[in-house]
């Protein structure tokens, strides 16, 4: 009777180890995707916004191709930056 319990216990431990490894791999992949698809573009837009708010007109534009919210944000921000540049030129 002890042998079937040991086999069942070993199978259970193996299953849990595999489950933890798969969960860890999925967690790392999702974190990498989040970092490269969301956090990095938002940081770039934030840095450009900071430079524009300090009056730096030579800052490069940031255009992210795509149909997601980050690309929509980058397009809207570039329009705002150009409008601000045009308004400042009209005031001079």
pLDDT in tens, 4-20: 899 999 999 999 999 99
b (16+ CB within 10 A) / e for 56-65: eeeeeebebe
Q: Coil, strand or helix: which one is 54?
A: coil
Mean pLDDT of 68-76: 88
- Most confident range, picked from 5-9, 55-59, 62-66: 5-9
% of the chain beyond a pLDDT of 70: 99
pTM of this prediction?
0.71
Look-up: residue for tokens 């524009």? 52
Q: pLDDT category, 82, cuts 50, 70, 90?
A: confident
Q: pLDDT category, 1, cuts 50, 70, 90?
A: low
């Amino acid at each position: 009777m002890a042998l079937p319990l040991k086999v069942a216990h070993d199978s259970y431990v193996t299953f849990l180890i595999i489950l933890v490894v798969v969960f860890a791999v999925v967690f790392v992949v999702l974190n990498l995707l989040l970092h490269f698809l969301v956090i990095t573009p938002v940081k770039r837009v934030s840095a450009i916004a900071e430079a524009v708010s300090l009056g730096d007109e030579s800052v490069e534009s940031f255009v992210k191709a795509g149909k997601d919210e980050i690309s929509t944000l980058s397009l809207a921000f570039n329009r705002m930056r150009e409008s601000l540049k045009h308004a400042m030129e009209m005031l001079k």
